Amino acid sequence: MSLQVLMIEDNEQNRYLLRFLLEKSGHKVDAANDGPSGIQQAQHSKPDVILLDIQLPTMHGYDVALALRQIPALAKTPIIAVTSYAMAGDRERALASGCNAYIEKPINPETFVADVERMVRELCL
């Protein structure tokens, strides 16, 4: 399974690591470093999955997910929150905002790609 991935992540080191892991496994990766550019890029590229950081500059990730869900062409696109927000209620808030799944940072580089692939398979059944 080769996926077209859009990663919305403001941290350059995180973008580098996620891109490296995903591309090493044969996936195509586009990246945006803030919410507004991520929304615009998602409309243009129509990715198979969106990896969304929650703590973003200019527009919070929860608001990005809500905005993405208002775009008919993206309404069913899987959105996976990849975030360091790990307090009680953070997972539920991400899901309530329109994310379909949740991966805590720091990620496990050994399982990250398999986790994303499994989540996409489960979400697209």
Q: What is the pLDDT of residue 94?
A: 94
Percent of all residues in the chain with a pLDDT value above 70, rounded to a whole number: 99
In percent, the amount of the chain with pLDDT more than 90 equals 90
Domain range summary for the chain, segments of one domain joined by +: 4-123
Q: What pLDDT was estimated at residue 31?
A: 98
Tens digit of pLDDT for each residue in 50-94? 999 999 999 999 999 999 999 999 999 999 999 987 677 888 999
Query: What is residue 87's predicted lDDT score, i.e. its pLDDT?
Result: 72
In whole angstroms, give the CA distance from residue 10 to residue 38: 10
Mean pLDDT of all residues belonging to the chain: 95
Contact in structure between 82 and 9 (CB atoms under 8 Å): yes
Query: Class for domain 4-123, per CATH?
Result: alpha beta
- What's the pTM value of the predicted model, to 2 decimals? 0.96
- pLDDT per position as a tens digit, 10-23: 999 999 999 999 99
